[in-house]
Amino acid sequence: MSTDRDRILEQALKHELRAAGTAPAGACLDAEALGAWTDGALDPAAMAAAEAHVSNCARCQAMVATMLKSATAVGTPGTGTPGTLGTFSLWKWWLAPIAAGVAAVTLWMVVPEQQQLATAPPQAEISKAAQTPVAAPAPPPAAPARDALVKQPTDKLGQRDNKVAATAREDQPKPRPSEERKEEGAARQKRAKLADAAAPAAAAAPPAAATMRAPAEFGGLEKNARKIVAPPGIEVTGQSAPSDSVCWFVGRAGLVLLTTDAGATFTRVDLAERLDLASVSATDERHATVSTADGRRFRTDDGGRTWLAF
Amino acid sequence: MDQARLQRLREQAQADRWEVPPEVFSGALERSAEKAFAGRTPSEAELDRYYTSLHLTDLALACACAMGHEEAWDHFVLEFRPGMYRAADAIDPGGGAREVAQALYAELFGLKEKDGIRQSVFRYFHGRSSLATWLRSLIAQRFVDRHREIRKLEPLPDEGSAAPLRARASELDPDRGRFVTAMRAVLAAAIAALAPRDRLRLACYYAQEMTLAEIGKLTREHEATVSRALAKTRKVIREGVERRLGDDHGFSKTEVEECFQSIADDAGNLDLNEWLGDVSRRSPGEGGRKKPGLDRSMSEDLS
């Protein structure tokens, strides 16, 4: 009964708060005050007054929400002007050498492997390559370096190993089993190296958005889940991949996605309640447990058809 | 204004770069302080702190643009206009906010004149926030106002929706209307009794569907703190509602339960219509919170 009342109360709150009125126009925040609030430039008294007003004014609430949505897309509030004077220039300053370094290390590790794995290279080329001294590649410019990182999974080896793109590769000649095993092993090594090479950049990179930091804070992301990615445009706060092909994703407003084919297709198995989910832990495609941002937990034993609070 | 202070602030603002006359910059600073201190006279130390906290280079640029300084305007177009359009597209990917941004751009340029003087919206920029933030908030404000104007002209839901459903339900259960009225009254009272910040979090979360992170940015709190505060507020409201239903309305435990059920049915009908929805809930693809899918089809393919 307690959970039922909570759910009803949440519905009623949503309805009641949406129906809130608007304070007299003169009392509303102007754009200057709203901007100052967003930039943290209001003194405590002014901020308290602004909060008191906005908490009762639907128009100002909508303004604040709209403003923050634009801030999320453009950049962190209070970080100065956009364009060359804003935060992006700071990013570029230290992102470029890191990206170049990562690309150089990646190329150094991956390119020789690709040369070895190329199908039946002429013997002359092999001996020529053997004679050529191996030198550390010069760091390429930042943008191409990032492209190189992004494009690696789409090269010939990456495609063969990528289950998501499996359906688009049926026309390619199938390698012999022995070759396939050899190439798969090499591809696994390459993936591991790529992941290791990318890890410092990911660790050093500044947070892209606060909402994306949530998973780590709530312990929602699992290390073994990085192979399968959520569909584009879906904000994920946690994921769990009990096997190579099965992965559960959770997000806000009760969002739960399940893939059983390594991300080729996703099934939406949301919670009935629109709770912000913070993490998921799954044992297979039928059994999973999700935790909400406020600590509640729900379990499914039938692939998300039904969820039980516990 | 004290000349030494003005000179120092002008140097910090690089006002000479845009050839902003001292009297114009001084006037902008004084207007800014007048607005911030709202009629009271601040001490010299307070004024110093305030002036130092301003985005002075942006203020000088705004003064120059309002005056029609060509180089300043070119700089603004190069550095700020793309940000305006990015913000507009983030607010409404459908292009509605970009129209607002374009109209604002014209007003910033100052197409209107009064007594022979060009009237630019830049004169309302006081430097408390960065110019980029101020532009975003102008776009947000005008977009919201335009949306609210449009909503006023929208027809109300037809007679086949919520109202008849509620009427039929009331006919079946004569007490239901009484329970709904009591529940709504105590719920409104419980919300009104909250501290402003608690009410603000609640409104942002339930009415505006902002994410915890967005609310945290607004209130300068970590999103985990926002989450805990919301849970606590919900508990306070629930306890308040249950207590008021018993104490103020004299309902028994069974009747309190019926009150909750009545509001569940009622809110459910209204939710289906969503005609009370506001601007920030209507633009698709915004923010981190998605609308719950009413049809949770197992075969839904999101790839």
Interval B101-150: pLDDT, tens: 888 888 888 766 666 777 788 989 999 999 999 999 999 999 988 888 87
Using DSSP bridges, classify how beta strands A297-300 and A267-268 pair: parallel, antiparallel or unpaired.
unpaired
Dist. CA B93–CA B279, nearest whole Å: 13
Smallest Cα distance from B1 to chain A, Å: 23
**Which chain B residues have a beta carbon less than 8 Å from that of A72?**
90, 214, 287
CB contact under 8 A, A61 and B296: no
Phi/psi for A64 (5° steps) reads -60, -45
Mutate to test the interface with A, among B55, B141, B225 (most CBs of A within 10 A): B141
CA atoms within 13 A on the CB side of A119: 8
- As a whole number, the mean pLDDT across chain B is 79
Spatial distance between the Cα atoms of B282 and B273, rounded to a whole number of angstroms? 13
Q: Residue B109's pLDDT is what?
A: 81
* Helices A58-74 and B81-91: angle between axes, nearest 10 degrees: 120
| Res. B245: pLDDT tops 90 | no
Q: DSSP of chain B, one letter per residue? A: --HHHHHHHHHHHTGGGGT--HHHHHHHHHHHHHHHHTTS---HHHHHHHHHHS-HHHHHHHHHHHHT-HHHHHHHHHHTHHHHHHHHHHH-TTSHHHHHHHHHHHHHHT-EEETTEEE-GGGG--SSS-HHHHHHHHHHHHHHHHHHHHHHHSPPP-TTSHHHHHHHHHHH-TTHHHHHHHHHHHHHHHHHTS-HHHHHHHIIIIIS---HHHHHHHHT--HHHHHHHHHHHHHHHHHHHHHHHHHTT---HHHHHHHHHHHHHHHHHHHHH-TT--HHHHSTT-SSPPPPPSS--TT----
Residue A274, helix vs strand vs coil: coil
Give the distance, in angstroms, between the CA of residue B146 and the centroid of all CA atoms in the same chain: 14
Nearest to B134 among A32, A66, A214 (CB): A32
DSSP state of A235: -
- pLDDT value of residue B258: 83
- As given in the structure block, the two tokens for residue A75 are 């950049």
Q: CA of A282, closest CA in chain B: separation in Å? A: 18
CB pairs under 8 A between A and B: 299
pLDDT average, residue stretch B182-192: 88
Q: What is the ipTM score, two decimals? A: 0.77
End-to-end CA distance of chain B: 63
- Within 10 angstroms of residue A45's Cβ, the number of other Cβ atoms is 9
Report the distance separating Cα B93 and Cα A126, nearest Å: 54
The three-state DSSP-derived secondary structure of B64-128 is HHHHCCHHHHHHHHHHCHHHHHHHHHHHCCCCHHHHHHHHHHHHHHCCEEECCEEECHHHHCCCC
Q: Which of A10, A39, A268 has its CB closest to that of B133?
A: A39
Tens of pLDDT along B48-97?
A: 899 989 999 999 999 999 888 889 989 999 889 888 888 898 888 888 88
Confidence grade of residue B227 (pLDDT, cut at 50, 70, 90): very high
Q: Which residues contact A309 (CB under 8 A, 6 or more apart)?
A: A3, A296, A297, A298
* pLDDT tens-digit readout, A56-104: 888 888 898 888 887 765 554 334 433 333 334 444 455 666 777 777 7
- Residue B251 pLDDT > 70, yes or no? yes
The total number of residues written for chain A in this structure: 310
Phi, psi of B128 (to 5 degrees): -70, -35
Residues of chain A found within 8 Å of residue B56, distances taken between Cβ atoms: none
pLDDT (0 to 100) of residue A74: 56
Identify the segments of chain A with pLDDT beneath 70. Answer: 1-3, 20-26, 72-97, 110-227
Looking at residue A113, what is its pLDDT? Answer: 52
Which residues of chain A make contact with B87, given a CB cutoff of 8 A?
A: 70-71, 73-74
Confidence of residue B201 (pLDDT cuts 50, 70, 90): very high
CB B287 within 8 A of CB A276: no
pLDDT recorded at residue B92: 87
**Residue B218: pLDDT above 70?**
yes
Rama region for B178: left / alpha / beta (φ>0; ψ in -120 to 50; rest): alpha
Compute φ and ψ for B187, nearest 5 degrees. -65, -45
Q: What H or E segment, with its residue span, contains residue A300?
A: strand A297-300
- The Cα-based distances of B149 to A23, A34, B152, B154, B208 in angstroms read 16, 21, 5, 9, 18
C-beta of residue A235 within 8 angstroms of C-beta of residue A73: no
Helices (H), chain A: 2-18, 31-38, 44-54, 58-74, 87-117, 123-131, 142-151, 156-161, 177-204, 210-218
Q: Which residues are registered as beta bridge partners of A292?
A: A277
> Which pair of structure tokens corresponds to residue B177?
């209307």
Q: Which of A163-167, B84-88, B158-162, B195-199 has the lowest mean pLDDT?
A: A163-167
pLDDT of residue A211: 32
User: Which SS3 state, helix, strand or coil, does residue A138 take?
Assistant: coil
Q: How high is the pLDDT of residue B293?
A: 32
Note whether B296 contacts A270, CB cutoff 8 Å: yes
pTM across the whole model: 0.54
* Nearest partner of A191 among A226, A144, A230, A165, judged by Cα: A226
Give the pLDDT score at A275: 82
Name every chain B residue with its beta carbon within 8 A of the beta carbon of A20. 203, 207
- For residue B58, which residues of chain A lie inside 8 Å, CB to CB? 81
CB contact under 8 A, B234 and A13: yes
Q: What is the pLDDT of residue A141?
A: 35
What pLDDT was estimated at residue B266? 54
- What pLDDT is attached to residue A150? 34
Q: Can you read off the two tokens belonging to residue B117? A: 């003087």
Given pLDDT bands bounded at 50, 70 and 90, which one contains residue B247?
confident
Question: Distance between CA atoms of A61 and A68, rounded to whole angstroms?
Answer: 11
* Residues of chain A contacting B218 with CB distance shorter than 8 Å: 37-38, 64, 68
Residues whose CB is less than 8 angstroms from the CB of residue B262 and which lie 6 or more positions away in sequence, other chains included: B173, B176, B179, B180, B183
Give the amino acid at B294.
Answer: L
- What is residue A162's predicted lDDT score, i.e. its pLDDT? 41
pLDDT at B233: 93
Indicate the residue of B143, B257, B301 with minimum beta-carbon distance to A66: B143
A252 touches B213 (CB < 8 A): no
Residue A250, helix vs strand vs coil: strand
- Percent of chain B surpassing pLDDT 70: 78
CB contact under 8 A, A9 and B237: yes
Handedness of CA B207, B208, B211, B214 (dihedral sign): negative
Task: Report the candidate in A85, A210, A263 with the shortest Cα–Cα distance to residue B132.
Answer: A85
Phi and psi dihedrals of A258, rounded to 5? -130, 130
Cβ separation of A267 and B301 shorter than 8 Å? yes
Q: What residues in A contact B183, CB-CB < 8 Å?
A: 12
Judge whether residue B300 has pLDDT over 50: no
Give the Cα-Cα-Cα angle A294, A297, A299 (nearest 5 degrees).
Answer: 155
